[in-house]
Structure formats: structure tokens, C-alpha cells
Amino acid sequence: MLFGVLFAVEEISDKLQLLADKIEKQFKLNEEQNQFVRSKLYYLADAAKRQPRRDWEHIFIAVVINIAFQLALEPTKAQQFWQLVKSVVGCFIHFIGS
């Protein structure tokens, strides 16, 4: 496992699933948006199995920005989105905090 002692890949996958659920609920996604978000977060979970931690963190940031962009979030909603991301996954992305 490339994330080592601190976080197992399974824990990251679980957190990303939780994040998808919370995004769907908080932002009232339609089916197409929900599938998009889940596919991107699934990609991240899969990438955690094969990418070194630092590379994965950079991919994570790019994917999160892409999700916010594709959902066309207004600034207030984008800020809420970022706070949600930080609250769910901030514990294993050291530079975004929790």
C-alpha cells in the first residue's frame, strides 16, 4: 500500500465514498452529476492503490477542482464544497487541513 502506516487504501476509499454521499446530499445532485462525481472519486480511490502519496495528493486536488468546475458551483457553493472536502478528507491530505 503506497500510503503507508498512516492511512490504508481502504480507509481512503471509504472516506471518498462518504464524500460522494455527502456531496450528493448537500448539493442535491441530479443523476448525471452524481455519476460524474462518483466516477471521479472512484478514480481517486483506485489511483491510491498505485500512485505514491505526493503524486496522489496532486491528482486529488486536480480532481476536486474539476468536480467543482463541472458542477458549475457559484462562489458560495464552491466554498461550502471545499469545506465539505476538507472536513471529510482533510485528515489524509496534509496540506489542506481538516
- Structural contact between residues 39 and 74, judged by C-beta atoms closer than 8 angstroms: no
What does the pLDDT read at residue 94? 63
Domain contains 55: yes
State the total domains in the chain. Answer: 1
pLDDT of 42-98, one tens digit each?
999 999 888 888 899 899 999 999 999 999 999 999 999 999 999 998 877 765 554
Largest CA distance in the chain: 38
Domain contains 96: no
5 pLDDT exceeds 50? Answer: no
- Structural contact between residues 16 and 89, judged by C-beta atoms closer than 8 angstroms: yes
What does the pLDDT read at residue 35? 98
68-91 exposure pattern, b = at least 16 Cβ within 10 A, e = fewer:
beebebeeeeeeebeeebeebbee
Domain contains 94: no
Domain interval for residue 30: 9-89
Domain contains 1: no
| Confidence (pTM) | 0.86
Domain contains 80: yes
Domain contains 3: no
